[in-house]
Amino acid sequence: MSTLFNVITALGSLGTFIGAVLAVVAVVKVAKEVRFKPEKLYGKEAEEKYDEMLKRIPEKAPGSFGAQEYKGGNKATPQFEVERFWFDKLTMPAEWKAFTRTVRYYYEDGEKKMVRVWRL
């Protein structure tokens, strides 16, 4: 009887250990996918953030898209936005899977509203 009790206790301990390891793996996986609050800055703060970003990340970085004319709705300029990047394996190339953020900088170039986009 004592041997059976020891075997059951050992199996329970082993199951608990395996469950704890799986829980740690799940927490790490979820931590990578945690949504962060999008950031929007306007005016002087946007320009400062853009200049700071250019010091760290070159304009021609791998996830960079050149300046394009913005043809959407009303946008205050200058404006700096940071959002979570959601990868869609059906419509996006596999190399984009490593990106986690989308950064947009809206500014005026003469009469045109322009936008620069980075995927980081």
pLDDT in tens, 13-65: 998 999 999 999 888 877 766 666 788 999 999 999 998 888 887 766 777 77
- Supply 60's token pair: 């021609």
Exposure letters 82-116 (e unless 16+ CB within 10 A, then b): beebeeeeeeeeeeeeebeebbbbbbeeeeebbbb
Are 57 and 118 within 8 A, CB to CB?
yes
43 and 78, same domain (yes or no): yes
Instruction: Tell me what the mean pLDDT of segment 65-85 comes to.
Output: 86
Is the model's pLDDT at 118 over the cut of 70? yes
Q: Give residue for tokens 């953020």.
A: 101
Determine the pLDDT at residue 38. 84
The domain in which residue 18 lies consists of: 1-34
pTM of the model: 0.66
17 and 51, same domain (yes or no): no
- Total domain count for the chain? 2
